[in-house]
Structures are given as structure tokens and as C-alpha cells.
């Protein structure tokens, strides 16, 4: 029987990575689409020949990896460049994600997709969607502290994502991450118990 898949998502700074780390500690297979993207665009990554062909040698660092700063400037300034980048990366990420889900073992696995609701590409393969949610003021403070970005830059990223209300409306399950890491981990533990009970025997 195919493994059941829980799609884990949340806005920037919401705590997706911390939640995913806790699921992994509990023995749940975790597939992270951002990690896959970094592998594909790392030194001699599988996406690099196509990206160099699409954007030219300026997109490639000396070590063969994607020059992320170079690319970031272009995709933020030009929607066409972003679409070209996505047309190369997204099919490769999707294939890798599907292969890793198929290879996963256990009652269920977690697929981490930051823009889960924005793109909709992964929704058909999910049994449940789990949102890590927090107040927007908490998002701002976390990302500004973590990434050294100013408020305007963080708000621009947030504006390009679904609103908090839209994510909450669409998610099957929600974890609130306004407080401590310990509180987040307890909520992940509770969701893990729930998924074990509800997904293990579902046909």
C-alpha cells in the first residue's frame, strides 16, 4: 500500500524546519523540497546544465553550483526570469520528491513544501495538510533576526505568499508556533500520535 503523505507548510519564519526536525526525531521520514532544490543546484547538481543553458554562465559559480545571489536579483526583478527558473527546477523537484516518497517506509511520511497552497502541485498526493502558523509580527521578528533583513524586505516576501488567513482556511491541521520551541515540539508529538492513529489503517 502506498505510504500516506502529510504536507507540511507555513509562511517564512513560521517554524516549518523546527517542526520537520521534530518529526524526523520521532522516526517519521521527512522529504524537504527546499533541500532537494539545494541538492539540484549545488556543485554539479542535476539542474545545473539546464540552468546554465537557460541563463548563461553568469548563473554558475566557479564550483559548479548555482550563484544564488545572482539569480535572486533577477527573479525578484523580473517575473519572466522567475518563471524560467521554475520551469527548470519544479519538474525536477517534483520527480525527486515523488521518488523519495515512494521509497519511504512507515505509516506516513512528511513532505515539506513552503509554497504548498500557492502552487497546488503537491496537493493531489497528500492525505493531510499541516500548517505551522504564527502571528505576522512573530514572523517579521524571526526573519529579521535570523536573516539580517529589514522589515520592508521581509514584508515583500510575505506579500508574495498566501496570506495567513488563506493558509489557515485551507489547512487540515494547524500547529501554533507563537511561543517556545518546547511548545512547538509538544504539538508535533500530538500530531504524530494523531497521524499514527488516523493514517495507519486508512485505505
Binding residues for ATP: 13-18
Alpha helices by DSSP H, the chain? 16-25, 33-40, 48-55, 68-77, 79-103, 116-119, 136-147, 151-159, 164-170, 181-199
Report the alpha-carbon distance of residue 196 to residue 103 in Å, rounded.
19
How far from each other are the two terminal CA atoms of the chain, in whole angstroms? 8
With beta carbons less than 8 A apart as the criterion, state whether 158 and 35 touch. no
R_g of the chain, CA atoms, integer Å: 18
The closest alpha carbon to 202, from 127, 119, 105, 102, belongs to 127
The closest alpha carbon to 130, from 50, 45, 14, 3, belongs to 14
The closest alpha carbon to 130, from 50, 48, 20, 12, belongs to 20
Binding residues: 13-18
Amino acid at each position: 500500500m502506498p505510504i500516506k503523505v502529510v504536507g507540511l507548510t507555513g509562511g517564512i519564519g513560521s517554524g516549518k524546519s523546527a517542526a520537520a526536525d521534530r518529526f524526523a526525531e520521532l522516526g517519521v521520514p521527512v522529504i524537504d523540497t527546499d533541500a532537494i532544490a539545494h541538492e539540484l543546484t549545488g556543485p554539479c547538481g542535476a539542474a545545473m546544465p539546464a540552468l546554465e543553458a537557460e541563463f548563461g554562465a553568469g548563473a554558475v559559480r566557479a564550483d559548479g553550483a548555482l550563484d544564488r545571489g545572482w539569480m535572486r536579483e533577477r527573479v525578484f526583478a523580473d517575473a519572466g526570469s522567475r518563471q524560467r527558473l521554475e520551469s527548470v527546477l519544479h519538474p525536477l523537484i517534483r520527480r525527486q520528491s515523488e521518488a523519495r516518497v515512494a521509497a519511504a517506509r512507515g505509516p506516513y511520511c512528511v513532505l515539506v513544501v513552503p509554497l504548498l497552497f500557492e502552487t497546488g502541485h503537491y496537493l493531489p498526493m497528500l492525505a493531510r495538510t499541516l500548517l505551522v502558523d504564527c502571528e505576522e509580527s512573530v514572523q517579521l521578528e524571526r526573519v529579521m533576526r535570523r536573516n539580517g533583513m529589514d522589515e520592508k524586505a521581509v514584508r515583500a516576501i510575505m506579500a508574495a505568499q498566501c496570506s495567513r488567513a488563506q493558509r489557515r482556511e485551507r489547512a487540515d491541521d494547524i500547529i501554533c508556533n507563537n511561543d517556545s520551541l518546547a511548545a512547538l515540539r509538544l504539538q508535533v508529538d500530538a500530531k504524530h500520535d494523531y497521524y499514527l492513529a488516523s493514517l495507519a489503517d486508512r485505505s
